[in-house]
């Protein structure tokens, strides 16, 4: 992509109405635009990051048998009344509205009810189970207070998955596979050193649910981590009994602040009973479906990555989620020879399938470097009158650059 065509421009100064690091950097670099408190638009660069994260999640969900769907954001009052979750006293994040005819509707803040209701059409026999569906949805939550940039918005993108199993054993097998898949996701987006599977409150039917917590001061959760065992306990269930049940020792635990980037939950048969989602067993008798629910906040994950990977100059994206792999910077572009070389380099990257952002703007070198650091693409490649028949490459976050041949660089990156 030609940077001269990119409509977003970087800003030298942070917006006055954002104190969170993620929002400051993402807005300055042109990844996002703030529409109102807790609602952000995703611009070309930002959308690319979202797409990368979604692809990684999709691959991992597909690998454990997930089937992608897309439910509606508009939801029926009647459906949520069945499970007593329409009431504002039980769920205080509803955005409610009504149709022209007067029917009450809500904007989806979660989708267990509608997905499960829909599944009554498709689940009839034990032979239909297990089945797993997931989606990327824009969720709406009327938070009393949004905060921390894109970490806690009123409108945000979430990957939510729902599992339907014939019994607890079948459910437990899948539940464990989701844990592994989630760990893969967080490792692949670069958070392997930061994310801990965390035991948290389990609600009505299980002792614990599991959260995936990324250690960061920007978070709003408090957890106790055992770094050698790679597990943690949420403050909400932290007590002697919990430690005993989990086989943890108080002296091995460190109290930290963290961001909840994922959550998996065993609903048991409760919701299926309420909604009437049942199937016929091998013996001909009827049974309710065992439901599980699994979420990853996609936009929150993006914000978490920015919180964890930045320096005073800007963002430092992990390779796997960066909007581009290479930031190609052309200097001395009034020199026809250099201009040809840098254009050739751009073509070669493109042909090699390496995503490249080409800074072809007429601008001082310092300005280009500053923008490059702010945007945070992994490889900065400079072509100028000084680089001769080679190119200068520097990784974002490192200070050393090197002169290398373009062909070698391309094969290295691939």
**Footprint on this chain of RNA (rule: CB under 7 A):** 9-20, 28, 36-38, 85, 91-93, 109-110, 112, 143-149, 152, 201, 203, 209, 220, 263, 265, 293, 313, 331-332, 334, 364-367, 369-374, 382, 384-387, 392, 394, 401
Neighbouring residues of 80: CB distance < 8 A, sequence distance ≥ 6: 86, 91, 106, 113
Which residue lies nearer to RNA by CB, 188 or 371?
Answer: 371
In the complex, minimum distance from the CB of residue 223 to RNA, in angstroms, rounded to a whole number: 12
Is 138 in a helix, a strand, or coil?
strand
Which residues does residue 326 pair with via DSSP β-bridges, in sequence order?
356, 379
Which residue lies nearer to RNA by CB, 14 or 187?
Answer: 14
Alpha helix ranges (H) inside 69-167:
77-82, 112-119
In the complex, minimum distance from the CB of residue 414 to RNA, in angstroms, rounded to a whole number: 23
Give the integer Cα–Cα distance in Å for 171 and 270: 14
Which residues does residue 301 pair with via DSSP β-bridges, in sequence order?
none
Is 44 in a helix, a strand, or coil?
helix
Which residues does residue 138 pair with via DSSP β-bridges, in sequence order?
157
In the complex, minimum distance from the CB of residue 146 to RNA, in angstroms, rounded to a whole number: 6
Which residue lies nearer to RNA by CB, 189 or 315?
Answer: 315
Torsion of CA 59, 73, 85, 148, to 10 degrees: 70
Which residue lies nearer to RNA by CB, 240 or 334?
Answer: 334
In the complex, minimum distance from the CB of residue 251 to RNA, in angstroms, rounded to a whole number: 27
Which residue lies nearer to RNA by CB, 173 or 365?
Answer: 365
The half-sphere exposure of 251 on its side-chain side, counting CA atoms within 13 A, is: 0
10-to-91, 101, 328, 329 alpha-carbon distances in Å: 40, 46, 17, 16
Chain centre to alpha carbon of residue 201: 22
Which residue lies nearer to RNA by CB, 109 or 126?
Answer: 109
In the complex, minimum distance from the CB of residue 209 to RNA, in angstroms, rounded to a whole number: 7
In the complex, minimum distance from the CB of residue 373 to RNA, in angstroms, rounded to a whole number: 4
Q: Are 328 and 381 in contact (CB under 8 A)?
A: yes
Question: Cis before residue 130, ω within 30 degrees of 0?
Answer: yes
In the complex, minimum distance from the CB of residue 385 to RNA, in angstroms, rounded to a whole number: 6
Which residue lies nearer to RNA by CB, 147 or 227?
Answer: 147
């Amino acid at each position: 992509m030609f940077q001269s065509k990119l409509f977003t421009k970087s800003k030298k100064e942070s917006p006055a109405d954002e104190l969170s690091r993620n929002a400051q950097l993402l807005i300055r670099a042109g990844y996002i635009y703030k529409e109102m408190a807790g609602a952000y638009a995703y611009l070309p660069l930002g959308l690319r990051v979202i797409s990368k994260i979604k692809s990684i999640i999709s691959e991992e969900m597909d690998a454990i048998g997930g089937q992608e769907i897309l439910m509606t954001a508009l939801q029926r009052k009647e459906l949520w009344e069945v499970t007593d979750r329409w009431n504002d006293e039980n769920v205080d994040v509803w955005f409610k509205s009504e149709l022209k005819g007067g029917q009450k509707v809500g904007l989806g803040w979660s989708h267990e009810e509608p997905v499960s209701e829909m599944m009554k059409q498709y689940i009839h026999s034990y032979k239909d189970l297990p089945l797993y569906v997931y989606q990327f949805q824009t969720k709406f939550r009327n938070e009393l207070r949004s905060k921390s940039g894109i970490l806690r918005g009123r409108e945000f993108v979430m990957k939510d998955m729902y599992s339907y199993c014939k019994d607890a054993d079948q459910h437990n097998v899948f539940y464990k596979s989701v844990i592994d898949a989630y760990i893969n996701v967080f490792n692949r987006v670069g958070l392997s050193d930061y994310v801990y599977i965390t035991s948290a409150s389990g609600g009505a039917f299980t002792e614990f649910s599991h959260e995936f917590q990324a250690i960061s001061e920007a978070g709003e959760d408090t957890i106790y981590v055992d770094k050698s065992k790679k597990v943690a306990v949420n403050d909400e269930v932290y007590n002697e009994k919990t430690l005993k049940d989990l086989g943890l020792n108080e002296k091995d635990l460190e109290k930290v602040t963290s961001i909840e980037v994922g959550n998996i939950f065993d609903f048991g048969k409760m919701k299926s009973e309420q909604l009437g989602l049942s199937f016929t067993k091998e013996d001909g008798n009827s049974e309710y479906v065992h439901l599980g629910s699994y979420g990853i906040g996609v936009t929150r994950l993006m914000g978490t990555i920015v919180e964890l990977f930045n320096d005073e100059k800007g963002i430092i994206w992990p390779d796997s989620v960066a909007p581009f792999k290479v930031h190609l910077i052309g200097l001395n572009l009034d020199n026809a020879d250099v201009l040809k070389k840098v254009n050739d380099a751009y073509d070669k990257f493109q042909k090699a399938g390496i995503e490249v952002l080409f800074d072809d703007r007429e601008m001082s070198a310092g300005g280009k470097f500053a923008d490059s650091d702010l945007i945070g693409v992994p490889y900065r490649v400079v072509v100028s009158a000084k680089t001769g028949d080679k190119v200068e490459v520097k990784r974002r976050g490192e200070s050393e650059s090197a002169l290398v041949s373009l062909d070698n660089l391309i094969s290295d990156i691939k």
